[in-house]
Structure 1
Amino acid sequence: MSDKQSLQISGQVFTTHFMTQDISPLPLIAHGVSMICRNEDRFLLVKRGKEPLKGSFAFPGGGVEAGEGGEEAAHRELMEETGLRCDTLRLVDTIDLSKEGLYGKTYNLSIYRALDLSGQEQAGDDAVSLHWLTVEDMLNYPVTVSTLAFARRILQEEG
């Protein structure tokens, strides 16, 4: 159901329809980054303290802020969540993750590999704690599907 409103400008009539009942919102697209940090056979995971996926274990990461590029966001998120810095990184992949529901979102996630780390580890921002886990260890924790898949992929690619 809609209401019609007309406006005349310079002899032309423009008609606008306004919705008068609630409709489901369109899906939103959020851009995010994830940082894969590896030390031999262990990967750095954060226990998430906030939604989405509160309580799950995943690579450090988060949303890309307005005016920020992917690499810049990856560096910032790594520092905020772990206290660590990375001078060199490489883009591993970009994937889309969908979240169902009334306010469903699609997360466009750029996954980076930190090739060097420095600094003092300390959980921060929305990371409750930090954990260095092997792929085998990950099977005993609530690790996100994409985190486990990319840890396996990195082991296969890098040995």
Structure 2
Amino acid sequence: MQGYNVLMIYSKAMDRLLMCKRLKNPYIGLRNLVGGKIEDGEAGIDAAYRELFEETCISKEDVTLYHLMDFKYYLQKCYVEVYVGKLKHDVIISGEENELYWSDLNQDFFDMSLYAGEGNIGHMIEQVNMSKDLILID
């Protein structure tokens, strides 16, 4: 079963979420969170920090990631680990894989014509909203 990760990176003020516009399939042209593949034998958290740095130049020193939830897709034979973090300070983001940008949180993240993931991004944001006092206090 192939593993993937999705990274929810919030600004220090918790008023913006790091997003990307997909430049390739799946979900070409849609907005998405950053993330990628978990390599064979790689721990999920290590893969999350690696993908975050590869795609955005945000390092482990810039953010602490918390394992929020997982999605397991039996028919597609894959799973997705979801990590969330709040930046410790302002950073300059850069990456070539997708077009990166900061989104305000006043969006309809359930809109599948704009956002990848069949509504999962909206669901994940709601889960963060329910538990941010526990996980995003630093």
Q: Please, what TM-score do these two structures have when normalized by structure 1?
A: 0.66
Please state if 1:122 is matched with 2:98: no
Offset from partner CA, 1:82-129 (integer Å, 9 cap, x none): 12113421110111247xxxxx733300111124356530122x31x1
Question: Which structure's residues are more often strand, by fraction?
Answer: 1
AA at the equivalent of 1:82: T
Between the two proteins, the alignment pairs up a number of residues equal to 124
Q: CA deviation at 1:48?
A: 1.7
- 2:42 aligned to 37, 59, 68, which one? 68
Equivalent residue number for residue 31 of structure 1: 3
Alpha carbons of 1:42 and 1:97: their partners in 2 closer, same or farther (altered >3 Å)?
farther
Equivalent residue number for residue 10 of structure 1: none
Equivalent residue number for residue 105 of structure 1: 76
Q: What is the identity percentage for the equivalent residue pairs of Structure 1 and Structure 2?
A: 22
CA RMSD of superposed structures (Å): 2.3
- 1:5-20 equivalences under 5 Å are none
Q: CA deviation at 1:136?
A: 2.4
Quote the Cα distance in structure 2 between the aligned partners of 1:83 and 1:53. 23
Equivalent residue number for residue 23 of structure 1: none
Q: CA deviation at 1:34?
A: 1.0
Quote the Cα distance in structure 1 between the aligned partners of 2:81 and 2:52. 13
Quote the Cα distance in structure 1 between the aligned partners of 2:77 and 2:88. 30
Please state if 1:133 is matched with 2:103: yes
Gaps of 5+ in 2: 134-138
Structure number with higher relative contact order (C-alpha < 8 Å, ≥ 6 residues apart): 2
3-state SS of 1:108 partner: strand
Gaps of 5+ in 1: 1-28, 99-103
Please state if 1:45 is matched with 2:13: no
Q: CA deviation at 1:56?
A: 1.8
Please state if 1:151 is matched with 2:125: yes
Equivalent residue number for residue 81 of structure 1: 55
